[in-house]
Amino acid sequence: MIMKIIERETFYICGYGVETTGDKNVEDLSNLYKDFFASDKESILLGFSGSKKGYFGLMWYTSGHEKYYYLLGIEVDKENELPESAILKTVPKTTYAVAYYPHDKDAVEAWTEFFYTDISKEGYAINEQHNLYFEYFSENVDGDYELWAPVVKSDE
């Protein structure tokens, strides 16, 4: 695992999502991904102004840490007219810890190590006020991926 600290400007993700829990996330996310590609939603979003190839799995907690929303989409400009049931989410400027993983690394295991071990080893802490975390796949959702978590310098 390679980790970098990156400041990223505000950007916009448009896509489709589901609210889920740790117990149901495998089933819920599998269904979301299947529908996204089977329904050709990717092609629709790639026709948007400012669209960029690459997939985001944007997450935010909706009920403490018991439930979270997962938005599968792509980066676009904010001035697009949304298709039915699509969501446009603004991701504000912040500093991120970014870790790179090979496609065969289990995502749940990667998030756990990244969140609870690797970030603190580098002298940072999760910026929970930001509450937007994401997976990024530059080529395809079965390829290598990046985990992005908002961070602040640790006081410790």
**Domains contained in the chain, number:** 1
For the residues 58-81, what does the mean pLDDT come to?
90
Helix or strand or coil: residue 129?
Answer: coil
Query: Does 49 score more than 80 pLDDT?
Result: yes
**Residue 123's domain spans which residues?**
2-153
Least Cα distance to 52 among 24, 13, 25 occurs for: 13
Structure confidence at residue 29 (pLDDT):
93
User: Which CATH number fits the domain that encloses residue 25?
Assistant: 3.20.80.10
pLDDT at 6: 96
The distance of Cα 55 from the centroid of its chain, to the nearest Å, equals 8
For 147, the token pair is 């985990």
Mean pLDDT of the chain: 92
CB within 8 Å of 96: residues ≥ 6 apart: 5, 6, 7, 8, 148, 149, 150, 151
Q: Is the pLDDT of residue 63 over 80?
A: no
Position 73 scores a pLDDT of: 96
Report CA Rg, the chain.
15
Instruction: Tell whether pTM > 0.85.
Output: yes
The Cα–Cα gap between 148 and 129 comes to: 15
pLDDT at 139: 79
User: Could you report the per-residue pLDDT of 96-119, keeping only the tens digit for each?
Assistant: 999 999 989 988 899 999 999 999
Residue 104 parent element (H or E): none
Q: What is the pLDDT of residue 156?
A: 61
